[in-house]
Amino acid sequence: MEKKKVLIVEDEVLIAETLSSIVEELNYTVTDICATADDALKSVKSNPPDICLLDVNIEGEVDGIDLAALIKNKIAVPHIFITSFSDAATINRAKETEPSAYIIKPYTEKEVEVNLTLAFHKKEKEPAEPVKKGTHEDEDSFFIKDKHELVKIKFEEISYCEAADNYTIIFTDKTKFILSQTMKAVFEKLENGGFVRVHRSYFVRFKDIESIGPNYIIIQGKEIPLSQNHRQDLLAKINLI
Residue pLDDT, tens place only, 196-239? 999 999 999 999 999 999 999 999 889 999 998 888 788 877 76
Sheet-wide strand order for 5-9: 29-34, 5-9, 51-54, 79-83, 101-104
Which comes out higher in pLDDT, residue 147 or 215?
215
Domain annotation covers residue 177: yes
Domain of 211 in residue numbering reads as 141-235
Instruction: Assess if residue 12 is contained within a domain.
Output: yes
- Quick one: pLDDT band at residue 131, thresholds 50, 70, 90? very low
pLDDT above 70 covers a percentage of the chain that reads 90
pLDDT in tens, 154-205: 888 999 999 988 889 999 888 888 888 888 888 888 888 889 999 999 999 9
Is residue 135 domain-resident? no
Give the CA angle between residues 72, 120, 178 to the nearest 5°: 10
What global pTM score does this model have?
0.61
- Last residue of some domain: 98, 125, 152? 125
Predicted confidence at residue 210, as pLDDT, reads 92
**Angle (nearest 5°) at CA 55 between 113 and 178:** 125
Q: Considering 74, 94, 125, which residue would you say is the last residue of a domain?
A: 125
Contacts of 234 (CB under 8 A, 6+ apart): 196, 198, 212, 217, 226
Domain assignment of residue 57, yes or no: yes
With a CB cutoff of 8 Å and minimum separation 6, the contacts of 27 are: 3
> Given 99, 125, 151, which residue is the final one in a domain?
125
> How many domains does the chain fold into?
2
SS in 3 state form for the chain? CCCCEEEEECCCHHHHHHHHHHHHHCCCEEEEEECEHHHHHHHHHHCCCCEEEECCCCECCCCHHHHHHHHHHHCCCCEEEEECCCCHHHHHHHHCCCCCEEEECCCCHHHHHHHHHHHHHHHHHCCCCCCCCCCCCCCCEEEEEECCEEEEEEHHHEEEEEEECCEEEEEECCCEEEECCCHHHHHHHHHHHCEEEEECCEEEEHHHCCEECCCEEEECCEEEECCHHHHHHHHCCCCCC
For 76-96, the pLDDT digits (tens) are: 889 999 999 999 999 998 998
Report CA dihedral (229, 227, 221, 177) to the nearest 10 degrees. Answer: 90
For residue 78, what pLDDT is reported?
92
Is the pLDDT at 133 greater than 90? The verdict is no
Count of all residues that appear for the chain in the document: 241
Q: Mean of the per-residue pLDDT values for the chain?
A: 87
Tell me, what's the pLDDT at 4? 95
Residues 152 and 113 in one domain: no
pLDDT band at 134 (very low <50, low <70, confident <90, very high): very low
Q: Does 180 lie in the same domain as 85?
A: no
**Do residues 88 and 22 share a domain?**
yes
Decide if 71 contacts 32 (C-beta within 8 A).
Answer: no
Q: Which amino acid is at 35?
A: A
What average pLDDT score do residues 38-54 get?
A: 94
Whether the predicted pLDDT of 137 surpasses 60: no
Cα–chain-centroid distance for residue 140?
23
Looking only at the bridges linking them, the beta strands covering 167-172 and 158-164 are antiparallel
120 shares its domain with 153: no
201 in any annotated domain: yes
Whether residue 10 is contained in a domain is answered as yes
Q: Is 51 contained in some domain?
A: yes
- Confidence at residue 129, expressed as pLDDT on a 0 to 100 scale: 44
Pairing of strands 222-225, 167-172: unpaired
pLDDT (0 to 100) of residue 60: 85
